[in-house]
Amino acid sequence: MNQISDITTTCVIAGAGPGGLMLGLLLARAGVDVTVVEKHADFLRDFRGDTIHPSTLEVMEELGLVEQFLELPHTRAPKLTAEMAGETITMADFSRLPVKHRFIAFMPQWDFLNFLSAQASGYPNFRLLTQARVADLIEAKGRVTGLCVETPDGIVEIHAQLVIGADGRNSVVREKAGLTVESFGEPSEVVWMKLSKQPGDPNEVMGHAGPRQGLVLIDRGDYWQCGFVVRRTTFVDIQQKGIEAFRQGVAAISPLPADRMQEIRSFDDTSLLVVRIDRLTQWWRPGLLCIGDAAHAMSPIGGVGVNLAIQDAVAAANILGQPLREGRLADADLAAVQRRRSFPTKATQKLQLMMRSSRRKDETTEKTAKGPPAFIRGIARWPVLAHVAGRLMGLGFRMEHVRPNRR
């Protein structure tokens, strides 16, 4: 490739996902020159975390954007439900949360990202560079000083005081930085697919995001986004048995008519998500910080990974905005972000591992393998726990607030 014009900025963010774009918006709002690089040309990709949690809606409220944001097409879930032995139980109830918007909004992530991008682009000190794939870090004297990215027009060097890795669970930034990753538990697999939504389909039970013994349905208005949790086997083994066997496996646990599964014409109509729970032992190096899934990959249960990424972004903007603007960023500032976000990350992952553990114990006998996980049975027995689950899912273990602009 040929070299084209380099870029000098204050902060460069790798990854235009929820965390990266939210941080870009908040830093631009704080007067920091910021460049976000995204390897794709746009945000139109299926099977992504599409949950907007009450804590995120609170952030939008604090930014004065929530009314405009909620004009976008979305569905609202004031509670999440599941079916157990033919009975509907409430898994998570958001009605008592101490925030204005007590519901999860389900919105295609591309709409959310387009909205954040549009708001950030209103600031002259914000730049979004698409079709820009991170190739390497730029380093000088033991410090990260920028990114080298590949674009259709050639290689671009982006020089910055700070590099942010917000490029997801397969982060190139954290790999190139040589940061140490600690993994927990065994990876699991979820197969995502689309099925049409038709008159007579269930609404209350599976209309939003309740798991039904290994199946998640998310209401997209005119279709269902379905997540099939692979248990006691692998997706490779499922593929070897053929598409018809896969259709039958989904139909066996789906509330939708069996003939609906014919819409899955081949495995090309599915997308595999390998779920890992891991985190960096140290989120930063001099001149570099990772946030979101790049710092701590989560299970997709409840969409908490997106929520944590947004909260990381708010905390990072609160802590780093002024030092970046004043040109006095120190390693202590980067360490402060990790220190601030370490507890909610570890607590959330611990909870997810406990939920996984309860499922594995259930599956040790054929009798319990067909039933719901222990945590769902516990919520069914003590309904008050649905409010606790709503608090943890909706707000997390530590909710961050946008600081007023005092430039």
Q: Is the pLDDT of residue 330 over 90?
A: yes
| Mean local confidence (pLDDT), 342-369 | 70
Q: Which are the contacts of 235, defined by CB distance < 8 A and separation ≥ 6?
A: 189, 191, 272
In this predicted structure, what is the pLDDT of residue 326? 96
In this predicted structure, what is the pLDDT of residue 351? 85
In this predicted structure, what is the pLDDT of residue 212? 44
**Range 156-195 burial, b when 16+ CB lie within 10 A, else e:** bbbbbbbbbbbbbbebbbbebbebeeeeebeebbbbbbbb
Name beta bridge partners: 273: 190
CA distance 125 to 224: 39
Residue that wins the pLDDT comparison between 308 and 206: 308
| Mean local confidence (pLDDT), 65-90 | 84
CA distance 51 to 35: 26
| Mean local confidence (pLDDT), 31-55 | 86
In this predicted structure, what is the pLDDT of residue 406? 66
Write down all domains in the chain, each with its CATH number in brackets: 7-182+276-394 (3.50.50.60)
Residue 278 pLDDT class (50, 70, 90 cuts):
very high
DSSP 48: S
pLDDT digits (tens, 9 = 90+) for 110-150: 899 999 999 999 999 999 999 999 999 999 999 999 999 99
- Is residue 379 within 8 A of residue 386, CB to CB? The reply is yes
Counting Cα atoms < 13 Å in the Cβ hemisphere of 11 gives: 36
pTM of the model: 0.86
In this predicted structure, what is the pLDDT of residue 95? 92
Whole-number average pLDDT of the chain: 87
Q: Residue 76: enclosing H or E segment and its boundaries?
A: strand 75-77
Name beta bridge partners: 252: none
Tokens of 82: 């599941």
